[in-house]
Amino acid sequence: MILESLGKTTLSVIKQTREVFLLLGQSLYWFFVGPFKKKPVSRKGFFAQTVFAGVESLAIVFFVDFFIGMVLAMQSAYQLQQLGATIYVAALVGVSMTREIGPVLTSLVIAGRVGAAITAELATMKVTEQVEALETLSLNPVRYLVVPRFLALLLMLPCLVIVGDLIGMFGGFVVGVTQLHLTPGLYFDTTINFLTIKDIMTGLLKSAVFSIIITMIACHQGLSTEGGAEGVGRSTTRSVVTSFILIIIADAILTALFYFAKT
């Protein structure tokens, strides 16, 4: 019984993985081929998704990254003060935000907000047979439903990560100046001196990978929904949980790759 259940779970995971990669391949195809077709991807839909995924997410990204930056500065200062190295709080906050905390935390927030919304929207369209209606009209669902969301999040998540990094460093700056009595110029100079282009590019590359994970999982779960309103809830929950897990796994893999890569 246990082996049978394990086998079914393994086959289900393999099947869903294959379907996600197939969806990614179709999205890339329409990304490159779509502009040359007579009916290109709707610009209105793309810009609407861009505003939803990016502009409307600024508030939650601001509050999460700002307070995380403050907490990171306070926790690191507690240890560094014992070594007389309080000034290195600026370097620790800057590097940590750009390489790790900024991309991962922002992506988790977006997965919970945007990924869940994408899944719920597409799942509702699926159970109400709106997706089948598109196919009846000879409109490809991947082209008109997935690609605009894919492009919007691929563009906006790195932008949100940059904003989140700056906000997080500003949170550390507030703690450094007000609580650790560091001068603003010294804090700023220390941050700049320890940050490298590799730190920034590492975070941006991670955010691009995370955006693909979020979009593909959300769209796949939405388009494969069955079972009415109850199915919509299951798909939305599964989408968020799966995205969280895959983001953490992808982060570990990418971090290992960058760690062993030559500087």
Q: What is the pLDDT of residues 193-202, one digit of tens each?
A: 888 888 899 9
The HSE-up count of residue 129 (CA atoms within 13 Å, CB side) is: 2
Look at residues 105, 114, 94 and name the one whose alpha carbon lies nearest to residue 61.
105
pLDDT at residue number 36: 52
Identify residue 172 by its one-letter amino acid code. G
Chain segment 76-115, per-residue pLDDT in tens: 888 887 777 788 888 889 999 998 999 999 999 999 999 9
213, pLDDT greater than 90: yes
pTM confidence score: 0.89
pLDDT level of residue 133 (50, 70, 90 thresholds): confident
- Write down the domain spans for the chain: 42-260
Token couple for 13: 């995971």
SS3 at position 129: coil
Alpha-helix residue ranges (DSSP H) falling in 195-227: 197-223
* Contact criterion met (CB below 8 Å) for 34 and 41: yes
